[in-house]
Amino acid sequence: MRIFKESLAEKQITCSRLYTNPTIFNNIVWSGTAEGDTAYYFGQYGFNDRVPKVNRISIIPKNHHLLNHIPENDRALKFLRWFSDGYFNVIPHRGDTLQVNDLRFGLMGDSLRGKNYVFPILLFKNEKGAWDIKPDNRNQEHLDENKHSFGELWERVKGD
């Protein structure tokens, strides 16, 4: 966590909280997600990195305003906030459907590229007109981008 805090301070990024954890399938490369007022700041640090700092920090807009039309006490929205511990961003998907990305799981690479979120969840109106959710990490569009990003992550784990 110290390396993430120092890297954020060096780039003059202030945050209200910071979440760090190992990236998927390894303990060598770690990701950090820092919460700012309107965005999250995401970066990765690997034990094989030559310099002990986060070199690339991606800015991920929160876009929480896209949820303003959903009642605060809605069951699906309350679940998403609880499940993600509040570390989530929102992007439009299709029509009225929104993609909510749990940022505790971060990105498949060390930068935001396409739709390389590890754990996207769709928030949509079901056939009864109620807001509902379903995971979207098996979508072919995500899989293609994640294959590329995972390859980069694996090279980093190996120290290449």
DSSP state of 117: B
Give the three-state DSSP class for 2.
helix
Residue 80 vs residues 72, 75, 77: alpha-carbon distances, Å: 12, 9, 5
Amino acid at position 62, single letter = K
Q: What's the pLDDT at 98? A: 96
Any idea what the Cα angle at residue 58 is, between residues 20 and 133, rounded to 5°? 70
| Torsion, Cα of 49, 51, 52, 58 (10° steps) | -80
Element (H, E) at 60: strand 57-61
Q: What's the pLDDT at 153? A: 67
pLDDT in tens, the chain (160 residues): 899 999 999 999 999 999 999 987 888 989 999 999 999 999 999 988 889 999 889 999 999 999 999 999 999 999 999 999 999 999 999 889 999 999 998 777 665 766 678 889 999 999 999 999 998 865 555 555 556 666 666 677 767 5
Q: What's the pLDDT at 113? A: 63
pTM: 0.85
